[in-house]
Amino acid sequence: MAIAQTAPVAPGERIQLLDVLRGFALFGVLVGNLVWLATYENVTREQMDALPTAAMDHATRYLVHFFIDWKFYTLFSFLFGLGFSVQMWRAAERGGDARRTYLRRLLVLLAFGLAHAFLLWYGDILNIYALLGFLLFFCRGMSTRKLLVLSALLILLPQTLLRVWPHISGSAQVSAAEQTAEEAEERALKEFRFRVYTYGAYPEVVREHVAFYFSSWGFQLYFNSAIFGKFLLGLLAGRLRLFHDPEQHLHFFRRLLIWGLAVGLLGNTVFVLHEWLTRNDILDDNSAPILATLWIADLGLVGLAAFYAAAIALLLRKPAWRARLSVLAPVGRMALTNYLTHSLIYAFLFYGYGIGLGLLSKVGAMACVLLGIVIYALQIIFSRWWLTRWAFGPMEWLWRSVTYGKLQPMSLQPDRRAMQA
């Protein structure tokens, strides 16, 4: 009996809404990462402004900033917390204890994430999810009130405190010469990464990946805090079973749709305004007006992600929309495989080693969005084809097999007695 209690979830036991949401989130993660990687992180403004598509790229960047940036990571993080809650609930229903299995799953995910971050692409999120997943485990018994309060604090406060503290402590007072030196250092770093990723051999790229991982902890402090706050929201939603049977919570989803849209529009208007003001040197990134409204921008990220989730939950009730949106479910069921495939594509498109095309500085935001649409369409086709033949995606199968210490059946009708607890 204990074997069945901790076995992987069979295809027939999955919640379609969650798979559709994961598939939808992966599209936004793909497009956001393509634009960030190609136009923000490793190239200078002058390189982007020199492209013949520069005017359209600027407009596209603002649209991506408004509708995609951080919204889909928010949704994906929420779904991680919700997935944890589903695991705990199913184990309790069967009279079992999923703790050991969950912790083993996190250790395997951490190993995948670190290998991914060092060997393939430095923007890995898996290792962060795994590390924060251990913390989530210890929050499973918190009351609803505590989860809500802690989640709000973690989402809204860290970025503001991180940015405001230097002003309070006086360490933000720098001379014009120091500021110029910092800008020159940032530019030099971008130029260095551009050379490594475009012309460097694979060992040089790996060294830079490792250096990036261990040099970005200031950003990670804010980013990880916000992610964990969204984990907690997902944990709470799972405990309340809001996404298990949306028909029982229509009033909640309709209100979430309205309030999510209202807060999302306000917050992301502020979010994009910050970008425009700083990009055009009207305000400094650490000016008082921007620091005072950071929390509004952070709230807007959650608001728009909530609107997306509520809209999909309500649309899935309609037969015509269910047929349209159900094509996203196979992508969501193979989320790990598809996410890692994205990184193979990033390496092929933007790095210069091996058969890489080395497209950094050669494509702008508009091309990245179009590439994202094409890549995602191919993933929809591939995921659907694969899951008509096999029960799991390739990486999902490996994750489960390593977690349970036994090769898992790939048949669409696996013998559950053969599975190892």
Query: DSSP string of 226-278?
Result: HHHHHHHHHHHHHHTTTTT-GGGGHHHHHHHHHHHHHHHHHHHHHHHHHHHHH
Contact partners, residue 164, CB within 8 Å, separation at least 6: 291
* Helices and strands, number each (H, E), in the chain: 19, 0
Instruction: Tell me, yes or no, whether 173 lies in a domain.
Output: no
∠ Cα 356 359 363 (to 5°) = 150
Cβ–Cβ < 8 Å for 126, 115: no
Instruction: Tell me, yes or no, whether 266 lies in a domain.
Output: yes
Structural tokens at position 93: 């229903």
Tell me, what DSSP letter sits at residue 418?
Answer: G
Give the pLDDT confidence score for residue 156 in this predicted structure: 87
Measure the CA–CA gap between 285 and 218, rounded to whole angstroms: 16
Cβ–Cβ < 8 Å for 228, 137: no
Give the pLDDT confidence score for residue 232 in this predicted structure: 96
Tell me, what DSSP letter sits at residue 306?
Answer: H
SS3 state at 332: helix
Q: Over the chain (421 residues), what is each successive 10-residue block's mean pLDDT?
A: 47 80 97 94 90 95 96 95 84 68 92 96 93 92 93 86 65 62 83 94 96 78 87 94 91 97 97 91 83 89 97 95 96 97 96 94 96 98 96 95 91 53 37
Give the pLDDT confidence score for residue 120 in this predicted structure: 95
What residue numbers bound the domain in which 80 lies?
A: 2-165+186-418
The pTM score is: 0.91
Instruction: Tell me, yes or no, whether 26 lies in a domain.
Output: yes
Give the pLDDT confidence score for residue 288 in this predicted structure: 81
Give the pLDDT confidence score for residue 95 in this predicted structure: 61
CA dihedral over 113, 418, 12, 7, signed as positive or negative: negative
Instruction: Tell me, yes or no, whether 120 lies in a domain.
Output: yes
The count of domains in the chain is 1
Cβ–Cβ < 8 Å for 19, 333: yes
Instruction: Tell me, yes or no, whether 67 lies in a domain.
Output: yes
Instruction: Tell me, yes or no, whether 293 lies in a domain.
Output: yes
Instruction: Tell me, yes or no, whether 396 lies in a domain.
Output: yes
Instruction: Tell me, yes or no, whether 88 lies in a domain.
Output: yes
Measure the CA–CA gap between 125 and 102, rounded to whole angstroms: 18
